[in-house]
Amino acid sequence: MEAVIREVCDEIKAFLLEKNRAYGNSAAEPVRIFSKVDALEQINVRIDDKLSRLARGKEYQGDDTELDLVGYLILKRAVKRRQTNEDR
């Protein structure tokens, strides 16, 4: 089981790094054109949106909502950690 856990974690890491490069770190450093809330609150909204789609059975074809949720939760922890380190 440990090997499978490592494999899944590696897949999530690769997914997050690829998305981060593709979107220019927008989760941690949003452009804030319309919304002025901080990065953590924006991630919370994205999590809520994903959970809403999941609860309503309205997933987009090709989306992996589970993977997206795991990714947003990891991003949330990473942003919180970075903010904590910046406060030191």
Distance CA 23, CA 49 (A): 18
Query: Concatenated DSSP letters for 64-85?
Result: -HHHHHHHHHHHHHHHHHHHHH
pLDDT of res. 3: 96
pLDDT of res. 84: 86
Mean pLDDT per block of 10 residues along the chain (88 residues) reads 96 94 87 88 94 86 89 94 83
Global pTM value: 0.84
> How many CA atoms does the CB half-sphere of 46 hold within 13 Å?
24
Query: Concatenated DSSP letters for 9-40?
Result: HHHHHHHHHHHHHHHTTTTTS---SS--S-HH
